[in-house]
Amino acid sequence: MNHNKTKKKVPQHTEAVCWGYEAENGPDIWGQLSSGYGLCSTGICQSPIDIVHPTPAKLSLITFNYQSTPLNIRNTGNTIEVAYQSGSWIEVDGMKYHLLQFHFHAPSEHTVAGDLSDMEMHLVHESENGMLAVIGALIKSGSINTAFNPFWNYLPSTTGESKQIKDVILNAYDLLPIRKHTYRYTGSLTTPPCSEGVKWFVLTTPIEMSHSQIAAFKSIMFGNNRPVQPLNGRELLVDATKESNIGSKD
Ligand SMILES: [Zn+2]
């Protein structure tokens, strides 16, 4: 009882609720950890999903306007996240979404016909009116990916550790595959509070990274992937435009 009394004196931030990926705080019980996390168990439009039998469609172009940003990287305990300076955005279907941050999961969260990839990168965007759009890129073992070199040596290895390095400049556009066809559906955040109404754009072409690049991440963090959620009849589209829907970088 005293414990509860003490707790009330200090307002608790949502961040203080220790969700994670272990049995005692993992995806199966996120919905029970906080009153604000209800959608994690009751939501019916959740992410990630297994991408299977998408419907081909002529999809609109994603216009990229990503600027370079100085490195600001943090190990949150549940992911490794790069905060993005303001001024970068994508535009799709007449709506502009500003890039806030990108982060990584290992193994992947989305699966393709049941197959997990080694990792997945999420670029999280928000529109002026608070709509979220996430670009997901699956990462598979292959050739070394030099686009990641500028910051891959700076991965913070302990929870709460962050690094701000002004001299290391990166542009998230350089991390993406050339071909920017996507799978599209409407889902949720894959972490608490599992908010719905998130526009998902999962690139059909995976990023390649070398085995040792992937191992460098996994040595710090592994198993931060939510299991796939039921589609529940949602529309899942895949870009069927013949021309390479490569977008543009201003
Ligand atoms: Zn994510």
Residue 250 counted as domain residue: no
CA distances from 64 to 194, 210, 238, 250 (A): 26, 26, 19, 7
Residue 245: its pLDDT value, please? Answer: 47
Residue list, CB under 5 A from ion ligand 1:
122
Q: In CATH, what number is assigned to the domain containing residue 126? A: 3.10.200.10
pLDDT string in tens for the chain (250-residue length): 334 333 333 334 445 569 999 999 999 999 999 999 999 999 999 999 999 999 999 999 999 999 999 999 999 999 999 999 999 999 999 999 999 999 999 999 999 999 999 999 999 999 999 999 999 999 999 999 999 998 999 999 999 999 999 999 999 999 999 999 999 999 999 999 999 999 999 999 999 999 999 999 999 999 999 999 999 999 999 999 876 545 444 4
Residue 203 Cα to ligand 1 midpoint, Å, equals 14
Please report whether residue 249 resides in a domain: no
User: Does residue 17 lie within any of the structural domains?
Assistant: no
Distance CA 16, CA 52 (A): 36
Decide if 11 is inside a domain.
no
This prediction's pTM: 0.91
Q: Give the DSSP H/E element, type plus range, for residue 150.
A: helix 149-152
Report how far ligand 1's centroid is from the alpha carbon of 191 (Å): 7
pLDDT number for residue 150: 86
Q: Residue 60 domain-assigned?
A: yes
**N-term to C-term CA, the chain:** 59
Token pair recorded at residue 199: 């526009």
Q: Can you give the residue range of the structural domain that contains 201?
A: 43-239
> In angstroms, rounded to a whole number, what is the distance separating the alpha carbons of residues 60 and 182?
10
What is the 49 CA–ligand 1 centroid distance (Å)? 13
Query: From ligand 1's centre to the CA of 190, what distance in Å?
Result: 6
Instruction: Specify the number of domains making up the chain.
Output: 1
Dist. CA 22 → ligand 1 center (Å): 17
Q: Is residue 211 part of a domain?
A: yes
DSSP symbol at 86: S
Residue 248 forms part of a structural domain: no
Q: Compute, in angstroms, the gap from residue 2 CA to the centroid of ligand 1.
A: 37
CA of 3 from ligand 1 middle (Å) equals: 34
Within 10 Å of residue 130's Cβ, how many Cβ atoms?
8
Q: What is the CA radius of gyration of the chain?
A: 18
Q: What is the dihedral of CA 16, 17, 22, 27, to 10 degrees?
A: -140
Distance 4 CA to ligand 1 centre (A): 33
Q: How far apart are CA 152 and CA 142, in angstroms?
A: 16
Q: What's the 7 CA to ligand 1 centre distance in angstroms?
A: 30
pLDDT given for residue 12 in this prediction: 40
Look at residue 18 and tell me if it is in a domain. no
Beta strands at 89-92 and 95-105: parallel, antiparallel or unpaired: antiparallel
